[in-house]
A = this chain, B = another copy of it.
């Protein structure tokens, strides 16, 4: 692969002159410019970014560290990230941690060695260790979706606590008095926030704390299935179930189908984030949807602000509203 020196030799000039031609700098005569351009074309020369990256300490690369790209929510976030990055000339390296702290640490170490310009991180756990490691190296960092306690870091989340609050209020207004919450692990901030939204809605409705029924599990289909099985054992049976994420909702629906329970007649349900729905039927489940693409875009814009230095304000916490959609699964007529 030819270098700038090969081109220079071929054109009978100095490397720096070729550089000036490439970058459209002033002070290159028409004759020289044409000769150099001919040489570039003939040799198929492509400038090597690595030299520049080494010299000027910027790689024009960001990293997106998420739990799993096959979750449609993260897919959409990723698309938002890539769009904004691309529009400003940055590339995005994709990393899947599968919620494993070990995998996350491996990835982060690799990213630091690569001297990428900034990191978008969905933390696999609530420990601030990873954040401190990145901050110590002075790499701009934006945390996505989940917060980390007692940590000064830019953050972009959706207000799922409010989403849950409103949906629980909605269920209460439909007369449900026994609403059970199925959420994620206590180490994941969104799982805790959503449980809090649930508790707050009950309290504001004047219900005693003891009326709260919360199951802590994993944010997976299997977790949703297990928690639903347990929740249905309660006597009296809950009249409504709330799934704290879309995978939990899928497991919940599976368990309800196996039990032969009708929705919403036997049990009403609601959830956070849409579940995949077949185009042959009307979407069915009442949800509070997080604006995934917008989260990706805003997080990337914030990160690039830090990277380029155009943004020097204090730490930001951007909270985007969720979008409520009331459908048949909660017992309400669709569209209302």
Contacts and interface: CB of A to CB of B under 8 A. Distances in A.
Interface of A: 1, 44, 46-51, 53-54, 59, 61, 68-70, 72, 75-76, 78-79, 82-83, 86, 91-96, 109-110, 112-115, 136-138, 250, 253-254, 257, 263, 275-281, 284
Contacts of A280: 253, 257, 263, 284
Q: Which 7 A-B pairs have the closest CB atoms?
A: A276-B276, A277-B278, A278-B278, A253-B279, A250-B279, A50-B54, A49-B113
A49 B94 contact: no
Contact of A82 (B53, B54, B96): B96
Contacts of A82: 69, 94-96
A68 to B, nearest CB: 8
Contacts of A1: 137-138
Contact of A53 (B50, B75, B95): B50
Given A69-B79, A277-B278, A113 B48 contact: yes
A201 to B, nearest CB: 25
Contact of A254 (B59, B113, B257, B279): B279
A47 B112 CA distance: 8
Given A51-B54, A75-B69, A75-B70, A112 B46 contact: yes
Given A48-B54, A48-B113, A75-B75, 13 more contacts: A48-B115, A49-B113, A50-B54, A68-B79, A69-B79, A70-B79, A78-B94, A82-B95, A94-B94, A257-B280, A263-B280, A276-B276, A276-B279
Nearest to A51: B54
19 contacts: A47-B113, A48-B115, A50-B50, A50-B54, A61-B93, A69-B79, A70-B75, A70-B76, A75-B75, A91-B93, A91-B95, A91-B114, A93-B94, A94-B94, A257-B280, A276-B277, A276-B278, A277-B278, A278-B281
Contacts of A51: 54
B278 A49 contact: no
A333 to B, nearest CB: 18
A250 to B, nearest CB: 5
Contacts of A263: 280
A54 B52 CA distance: 10
Contacts of A115: 48-50
Contacts of A276: 276-279
Contacts of A109: 46
Contacts of A281: 278, 281
A93 B79 CA distance: 13
Contacts of A69: 69, 75, 78-79, 82
A46 B93 contact: no
